[in-house]
A = this chain, B = another copy of it.
Amino acid sequence: MIVQVDPKATVSQLDAIKDAIKAIDYKATEVRTQRGFYLVAIGKKDFDIRSIGHLEGVLDVHRVSDAYKLVSKKWKVGYSEIDLGDGVKVGGDELALMAGPCSIEGEEQIVQVLTHLKSQGVRVMRGGVFKPRTSPYSFQGTGMDGLKLWHQHAKALGIKIISEVMSVQDIGPMYDYIDIYQVGARNSQNFDLLRELGHVDKAVLIKRGMSGTIEDLLQSAEYVFSGGNERLMLCERGIRTYEQAYRNTLDINAVPLLKEKSHLPVIVDPSHGIGIRRFVEQVALAGVAAGGDGLIFEVHAVPEKAWSDGQQTLNFAESKRLIHKARRLFSFCRALEGEFPLDEEPA
């Protein structure tokens, strides 16, 4: 059960609500986010929802049968939109586009990519400065120096930054220089990291684990939301299957399922989803057609020379084509939906 509490409720009103929850043997967790004040109550007994609903200070009460609660679509009308400021939004009426290199390499590369994105009207740049590398001897990223340099140039152009955070200690240092914390596939169930990101007031994008279920992903998001941060996005980036013809198998089914289960925006990562440069475009378009709210993909001036992931990175020409097509397709699909609204039985 989710109880939406009036932020102006008095302490004694709040106590009365908590007592009522305790009286039906439910365990309540208090959640204050940027947007609301909730009591998430977990229990097994059946009860009369009005016994809570009529209390003073209660805005609304919702039964949510899912294991995850706050990220569930069961209690929210419509979808969540994440406002990144300066008119940059994720989850609304425009396709959200995030693009950039696998790794931030240096000033020249940063400027090249930013210039490309600017020319295409893309407002969010991705890039890794702390790289989760399988081998300890591989390049581990340019770290905070790389991030600061990147931030300086991006800010000047009004472009937002999304970058992976790998540990709790880095949340603080990164804070001033990024707009979206990315939780990588390998950290998708790093619960300490997720919990801490719940205490931050910046947006978070959570990638699905390599063998994470849909339910796992939503529970990971619940960690962040229940910590107090509801500026969240989910990302499908391909899963591990027996098929070895591609790096990962993009799970297109996840897109409509996540959109039904949760009110959070769903971003598709075609670069990791297939891992082969010449197929990134088709997979991206499939993600849009399936109902994705946005795309995150890898681009580099010269993919062949990228320090990492070059085999799945687009060059600027390919990126331009993908951006053009994806936007056109997104508009087309939204219009198509209008022709047969989903809430109306087609004749």
List the B residue with the shortest CB-CB distance to A42: B137
Q: Note all chain B residues with C-beta closer than 8 A to A192.
A: 166-167, 169
Which of A104-112, A143-151, A182-190, A303-311 is near enough to bind chain B?
A: A182-190
Per-position binary interface string of chain A over residues 158-176, scored 1 when its CB falls under 8 Å from any chain B CB and 0 otherwise: 0000000011110000000
A317 contacts across to B, CB distance below 8 A: 345-347
B-contacting 9-mer, from A44-52, A55-63, A287-295: A287-295
For A249, give its contact among B40, B241, B246 (CB under 8 Å).
Answer: B241
Report how far A226 CA is from B320 CA in the complex, Å. Answer: 42
- Cα separation A324 to B338 with both chains bound (whole Å): 13
Complex contacts, A54 vs chain B, CB 8 Å: none
Q: Which residue of B lies closest to A252 (CB)?
A: B252
Rounded to whole Å, the gap between the CB of A291 and the closest CB of chain B is: 5
Q: Is the CB of A256 within 8 A of B282?
A: yes
Question: A213: CB under 8 A from chain B?
Answer: yes
Tell me if B329 and A346 are in contact (CB < 8 A): no
Interface size on A, residues (CB 8 A): 85
> Known: A137-B27, A187-B190, A249-B253. Is A346-B332 also a contact (CB below 8 A)?
no
**Chain A 236-252 against B: per-residue CB contact (8 Å), 1 yes, 0 no?**
00011111111001111
A residues lining the B interface (CB < 8 Å): 27, 29, 40, 42, 67-69, 132-137, 166-169, 186-187, 189-193, 195, 209-211, 213-216, 219, 222-223, 226-227, 239-246, 249-257, 260, 273-274, 276, 278-279, 282-283, 285-291, 317-318, 320-321, 324-325, 328-329, 332-333, 336, 339-340, 345-347
